[in-house]
A and B are shown apart, each in its own frame.
Chain A
Amino acid sequence: MKGISRAGWIRLLVVALLLLALEGACRAGWIDPVAVIAPSQMIAGAWHLLASGKYTRPILLTLSNVAMAAGLAVATGFAAGWLLYRLPRLRRAADPLLASYYAVPTFIFYPLFIVLFGLNRWPLVAIGFIFAVVAMALNTLQGFERVPRVLRRTARAMRLSTREELVRIVLPSCAPHLFTGLKLSIVYSFIGVIAGEFVLSGAGLGFEIAFAYNSFDNATMYGLMILLLGFVGGLNMLLYSWERRLYLRRGGR
């Protein structure tokens, strides 16, 4: 394990200084407390929220929605990526659509899903799913396409069956790409579900933040924000470092 690099120390210092400056400016009254509250108050707010237990249900609801959306997206995206790999004609035809998929703001379909599924959790799961599934499909496709030809030839030379080739050669070889797809699916599901809750929903973390904003309850609003962003940021960093290790291991061999 290597320690923190020089850039890492400077980064910590910069972030700490910024937080201190914000804290000082808020304490001195230079910033309107209606707009931004001091970081220490935000953290105190977050702690109160967790301790009170009042927000346990919305948090669990949001997390279970994200988990369902991401799970469905990973399974469907993997199948779709494999299908596109096996059907090159379909792949070429769908290429321009896939390339511009993320240019379309998927959230515009959220109201449509409410009409389709009703005002419950399924529109949120659906919006997280359609936001995440194409990232998984594209990464699966890329992984299958980038299996080195020499590995395929080795499999044939060893007379592996199709199933053995898949399990022993193809899947291990595209594991890093699959992991990237998994990571993006989780991140995108989060973004989709939270945004949906925020704009039009009656429950969940995103809704609670919007509700606190509408009732000028800054301590709750910033507390919830800190909790959510801290959790998602921590999860991202964890996934990011796993991903790097996977790619490094493959590159090193």
Chain B
Amino acid sequence: MSAPARQAPRAPGSRAMLDKLLLAIALLVLWQLLSLLAGPEVLTTPLATLRRLGRLMADPTFAAHAVETGTAFAVALVISLAGGLGLGVLLGAHRLSGEVSEPLLVGLYSIPKITLYPVVLLLFGLGMSAKIAFGALHGIIPVILFTMNSVRNIPHVYIRAGRAMRLSPAQMFSGVLVPASLPEIVTGFRLGFSLTLLGTLIGEMFASQRGIGYLLIKSMENNDTGVLIALALLLVVLATAASWLLLALERRVHGRFES
């Protein structure tokens, strides 16, 4: 009696897992077939790509490039998240300034920001600070927009309660505004994370001498398909893994706050 009862709820979950596994295998098979069709000089096979990636990561110069990109990305991410959170709460709490700036931010969000990169380079000079500025320029806007909208939608009772307790602006920020809008802030962080990575990498692909983006461009110019696809695989895996983690966090936060 107990065995089927225990199995029944597990069955749909395991079937979904099986489906995901099948999809992953199908994608791998597709990759293999494509590389067989196009030839190894255009698209290397999955196994050869993994081997190439292993050799690439063992190369001592690779670490320097990875550290360069990692540092630029980390600083840009901190600026995007902290700056976006601060500005978003301010613009959300002060309705008029939010209304004034929202269309400007939406406009800036949807233009191809790469066109502005020469300006960033002229202002910050070649090197690390331009990459950081460009990454932060990409990442900060979604964080501001999501934070602003969720702070606007906080029930007014919370804010009145905070005022009744005579909270200082700093206490209001950390005790009422941020916790009450946490789920949307996490969503904004997830978007900000991926856009900051995008901005940092594009910044390195143009007018740069170091970093993963530079390696990508160089391997293309040298027609070194093996390195190119190995780097693409590395970035896809890292970005997808980070996005899954943030998505899981997001679901937990949403679940906790909306139940």
Q: Hey, which bits of chain A sit against chain B, CB under 8 A?
A: 5-7, 10-11, 14-15, 34-36, 89-90, 92-94, 96-97, 99-100, 102-105, 107-109, 111-112, 114-116, 187, 190-191, 194-195, 198-200, 206, 209-210, 213, 221, 225, 228-229, 232-233, 236-237, 240
User: Pick the contact of A107 from B99, B117, B205, B240 — CB < 8 Å?
Assistant: B205
Does B38 make an interface contact (CB < 8 A)?
yes
The interface residues of chain A, by DSSP majority, are classed as helix
Does B202 make an interface contact (CB < 8 A)?
yes
Q: Report the separation of the CA atoms of residues A104 and B117 in the bound assembly, to the nearest whole angstrom.
A: 20
**Residue of B with least CB distance to A32:** B122
Q: Hey, which bits of chain B sit against chain A, CB under 8 A?
A: 16, 19-20, 22-23, 38, 42-43, 96, 99-101, 103-104, 106-107, 110-119, 121-123, 190-191, 193-194, 197-198, 201-202, 205-206, 216-217, 219-220, 223, 225, 228-229, 231-232, 235-236, 239-240, 242-244, 247
**Residue of B with least CB distance to A9:** B100
**What residues of chain B lie closer than 8 Å to A93, measured between beta carbons?**
16, 19-20, 22-23
The interface residues of chain B, by DSSP majority, are classed as helix
Task: Flag if A35 contacts B123 (CB, 8 Å).
Answer: yes
Q: Report the separation of the CA atoms of residues A213 and B207 in the bound assembly, to the nearest whole angstrom.
A: 10
> Given A112-B229, A206-B115 in contact, is the A92-B110 Cβ separation under 8 Å?
no
Q: Report the separation of the CA atoms of residues A225 and B96 in the bound assembly, to the nearest whole angstrom.
A: 30
User: Which 5 A/B pairs are nearest by Cβ-Cβ distance?
Assistant: A111-B220, A100-B243, A103-B243, A7-B99, A103-B194
Most buried by A among B42, B104, B107: B107
- How near does chain A come to B103, taking the closest CB pair, in angstroms? 7
Task: Flag if B231 contacts A103 (CB, 8 Å).
Answer: no
